[in-house]
């Protein structure tokens, strides 16, 4: 995942950098630098960001199922 793909995905999910930083165990400042293309991230950190985005999607699905009265 490129920095631009990550930034677009995070924004589309309406998730803050701070929230993703907490989930991924990466500082918010590093996420900002990555999104802006100032500094690359190691493959491990990119993988952690991808996992954090997937966790956000899973949480949104659970919340939606609960609100709609369905189970997921």
> Which domains can be identified in the chain, with CATH numbers?
3-68 (1.10.260.40)
Mark 37-51 as b/e (b = at least 16 C-beta within 10 Å). eeeebeeebbebbee
pLDDT at 25: 96
pLDDT at 71: 65
Are 38 and 67 in contact by the 8 Å Cβ rule? The answer is: no
One digit per residue, pLDDT tens: the chain, 72 residues?
Answer: 999 999 999 999 999 999 999 999 999 999 999 999 999 999 999 999 999 999 999 999 999 999 998 765
């Amino acid at each position: 995942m490129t920095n631009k793909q990550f930034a677009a995905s995070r924004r589309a999910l309406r998730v803050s950098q701070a929230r993703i930083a907490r989930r991924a165990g990466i500082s918010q400042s590093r996420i900002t630098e990555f999104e802006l293309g100032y500094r690359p991230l190691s493959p491990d950190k990119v993988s952690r960001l991808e996992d954090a985005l997937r966790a956000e999607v899973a949480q949104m699905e659970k919340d939606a199922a609960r609100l709609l009265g369905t189970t997921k």
